Structure 1
Amino acid sequence: MPILILVLAVVAVDQLSKFYVQSKMTLGLSLPVVDNIFHITYILNPGAAFGILEHQTVFFIAIAVLMLAAVLYVYPRLPQGSPVLRLGIGLMAGGAAGNVIDRIRTGYVVDFLDFRVWPVFNIADMAIVGGVGLIIFALYYLPEKKDGCND
């Protein structure tokens, strides 16, 4: 049950932040928070990271649905002693769900966090990247517990 709460929290924060940006800004507007370092810039992204595969909405929706189905299958089978792995999967799933909502609704993803040295992104993107990072960390660097002891 905690993964569902995490996924819903990520989706809620992501969608609320996107709604706020869309309701307060016009498309293309960029507001400096820290001049030349961090801006809030409202854009619509028709592709994936860095705008690759533009307008492949059906492909991205299919990938997200398959990934969420895989999470539903794998998550209950994870060992209870894997909180970092579980957290990573929850963040990744929440981020994927947040972006797929945009794609289903409009065919675009709303992006607005602009650090000027990186493409504009959103909360869902942060959750996906953080989640995948935690999954990699858990799989490669945390010891696997077997029979109640560390090997």
Structure 2
Amino acid sequence: MGVLLAVVDQLTKNWAVANLPELDPQPFLGEILHLTLLYNSGAAWGMGSEITPVVTGLQIAIVIGVIVFAVRSVRSLWYTLALGLILGGALGNIHDRLLRPPGPFHGAVVDFLELPHWPVFNVADMAVVAGAILVVLLGVIGLPADPAEAEDTTGADDSARADDVARADDVEHPEETR
């Protein structure tokens, strides 16, 4: 999923670079969506453009962390989908930072989708945001990353509660335990 998303992201960015004039908004869906090519050397909203190598290093570290977490802990298809979105988007933007001008760890990310009153973004950005929102929603509804661990925990809680009830019963009725 992640690799496919990174490929789609790169295909759309390559199309934008080949077909859009830089910084000249082109109407796509009326006033709702414009195609505006720009190069972002920073993180979200262009912040950190003076420390592009640090931003790139942090993105790589986050990708490694997500992969380790996914391999060790995730057995839920929903969490797999969410992390696949995050990884695919992150890989698409890391590709730009490593391989686009002006050079490795200094490359600018290609952005080209513009909504009213919102910074210009790309397919990778949409995937990262969608994946993050899905992770939060899964957490809010209480879906575990590994359903098997949730079942083990539930079973352990039930037996612990039964032990607590038995102990409480012994304290309330000590003559019956003799």
Q: TM-score, normalised by structure 2?
A: 0.75
Name the SS for the 1:41 alignment partner: strand
Greater shift after overlay, 24-33 or 86-95?
A: 24-33
Deviation, structure 1 residue 115: 0.8
By percentage of residues, which structure has more helix?
A: 2
CA distance in 1, matches of 2:60, 2:81: 19
CA distance in 2, matches of 1:79, 1:28: 41
Gaps of 5+ in 2: 102-106, 156-178
What pairs up with 1:2-151 in 2 under 5 angstroms?
6-80=1-75, 82-105=76-99, 106=101, 107-144=107-144, 145=147, 146-147=150-151
Radius of gyration: which is bigger? 2
Cα distance, 1:110–1:28 mapped onto 2, change above 3 Å: same
Greater shift after overlay, 18-27 or 52-61?
A: 52-61
CA distance in 1, matches of 2:44, 2:22: 19
Q: Counterpart amino acid of 1:124?
A: A
Greater shift after overlay, 9-18 or 53-62?
A: 53-62
Gaps of 5+ in 1: 1-5
CA distance in 2, matches of 1:55, 1:66: 19
CA distance in 2, matches of 1:59, 1:149: 40
CA distance in 1, matches of 2:115, 2:27: 10
Q: Counterpart amino acid of 2:139?
A: L
RMSD of the TM alignment (CA)?
A: 1.9
By percentage of residues, which structure has more strand?
A: 1
Deviation, structure 1 residue 150: 7.1
Aligned pairs, number = 145
Aligned-pair identity (%) = 32
- The answer to whether the 8 Å contact 1:33/1:40 transfers is yes
- The answer to whether the 8 Å contact 1:111/1:120 transfers is yes
Deviation, structure 1 residue 29: 2.4
Deviation, structure 1 residue 18: 0.2
